[in-house]
Every structure is written in C-alpha cells, then in structure tokens.
Amino acid sequence: MSSYDGFAPDFFDRVDGSDDAEFYRPERLVTHIDDGAIAAVGSLYTELGITGDVLDVMSSWISHFERPPSTLTVLGMNETELQSNPMADERVIHDLNRNQELPFADASFDDAVCCVSVDYLIRPLEVFAEVRRVLRPGGRFVCTFSNRYFPTKAIQGWMMLDDRQRMNLVALYFDRTAGFERPIGQVRRPAGLGDPLMAVWAATAAASDS
Ligand SMILES: C[S@@+](CC[C@H](N)C(=O)[O-])C[C@H]1O[C@@H](n2cnc3c(N)ncnc32)[C@H](O)[C@@H]1O
C-alpha cells in the first residue's frame, strides 16, 4: 500500500503550482497570526520544554519561542527573512517541495517545529520521514497552525477541511510516518478570541523503545 493511498488525486494540488522560489522571492517581514496566537505557540514550546538543539522548518524571521533554545536552525525559502530571525544560529535556504531530503545528519536535533506552514507541503510524508530521521530519540516534531494561509499555495485538501479535520490530517501524516509515537492534538486557542491556534505533535521512539 502506498502511504498516499486514500487521498484524492488532486488533494496535494495547488492553485499556483509554479516554483515556490518565485512566490517566496519577496521577503515578508510580517506576522502571519495575531499576537494571541503567537503567544499560544510560545507557551506550548515552553510547556513542552523545547529548549535544546531545535530545527524550525518552513521558518521566517520569527520563531515564536518565549526564550531561545540552546541552538536554533531555521530552514525556509527567503534569505532576508531568515537573516532577520534574531534567535537563529544557523540558516538554511531549502525548498521542501522540490527536495524533501533535509541537509542534516541523522539525529542532529532534540526537537523540531513547524509553524503555520504544514499546509504548503505537497509531499508531507517524505518531509515528516526526514524530520524523523534528523531527530534524536524522544525528539518531538511540533506542528502548529491557524485558519489563515496563502490560498494559492496551500494544498487543495487543506482548504476543504475545517480546523478539527486539519488536526486529524496532520495526525494522519504522523500515523503514516514510521518511527513516530502516537500524535497528540490540542486546540491551544479557540476560534472567536482572534486567530485560533491548533497544535499536533508526536515524539520519536525513545532509545529504550527502539
Ligand atoms: C506563512 S509563512 C510562516 C513562517 C513562519 N513559520 C512563521 O511562523 O511566521 C510560510 C513559510 O513557509 C516557508 N515555505 C513555504 N514553502 C516552502 C517550501 N517549499 N520549502 C521550505 N519552506 C517553505 C516560507 O519560507 C514561509 O516563510
């Protein structure tokens, strides 16, 4: 069975299927969610103890930590955005829709995060498998998202779903990726107060389990 069985053929299509490098060429030094949703991301990272060597995939100029982790590697599309990220120690330009292979050695990071961006991945299962590979035993991959997105670049499937269904979709990505424990989903900020904030994360098997 293919990992993508059960998805409609056009699920991962986008209105703008052109090279992502074009869309992300102009820097966007903006926030994509409101202050309350940003605070919800930061408090989740603090609560989970995301404090070690961290990879922020699909990153920009802001990584939302309340306090910088020991080291922060940011990977994204726009050099100016990444250079403007004050918490970053290492910056990597890399298009995950062209090449899902992460340019890092196995077990390089304690944890990984992805904020308001998982909806742009057209090969999410390969990306999740790569995040799994670069995480150390017990490392978490924390995906957070809201209900805002670039409509021409989000996958069609994402736009058809509501917030709860999107949580289920991200949980499914974890379920279909070997090596992750059972995913946990939480609504960290309900709709109605401003931008809602949903989170789904999973840990890699601890050393003693593997
Ligand atoms: C909505 S912004 C979110 C940025 C940041 N994570 C945040 O929380 O503000 C989407 C980000 O995803 C990144 N991105 C989009 N497509 C990508 C791709 N194909 N490969 C890697 N990063 C990508 C872009 O660089 C952009 O900064």
Ligand 1 and 144: CB distance under 6 A: no
Residue at 3 is within a domain: no
CATH number (domain holding residue 93) = 3.40.50.150
Helices 124-134, 163-175: inter-axial angle, 10-degree rounding:
60
Atom of ligand 1 nearest to the CA of 149: 1
Residue at 192 is within a domain: yes
> Which residue range is the domain that position 204 belongs to?
36-209
pLDDT of the residue at 157: 97
Between the CA of 60 and the centroid of ligand 1 the distance, in Å, is 6
pLDDT of the residue at 210: 46
pLDDT of the residue at 209: 53
8 A C-beta contact, residue 132 and residue 179:
yes
Structure tokens at 40: 């919800």
pLDDT of the residue at 206: 80
| Cα dist from 90 to 16, 60, 79, 101, whole Å | 30, 12, 12, 18
Instruction: Please indicate, yes or no, whether the overall pTM of this predicted structure exceeds 0.85.
Output: yes
Residue at 79 is within a domain: yes
Residue at 13 is within a domain: no
Domain count, the chain: 1
pLDDT of the residue at 3: 86
Residue at 41 is within a domain: yes
Ligand 1 and 115: CB distance under 6 A: yes
**Residue nearest to ligand 1 atom 13, measured at CA:** 58
Residue at 174 is within a domain: yes
Residue at 27 is within a domain: no
Point out the residues of the chain with pLDDT beneath 50.
210
Which amino acid, residue 53?
A: D
Residue at 4 is within a domain: no
Between the CA of 207 and the centroid of ligand 1 the distance, in Å, is 31
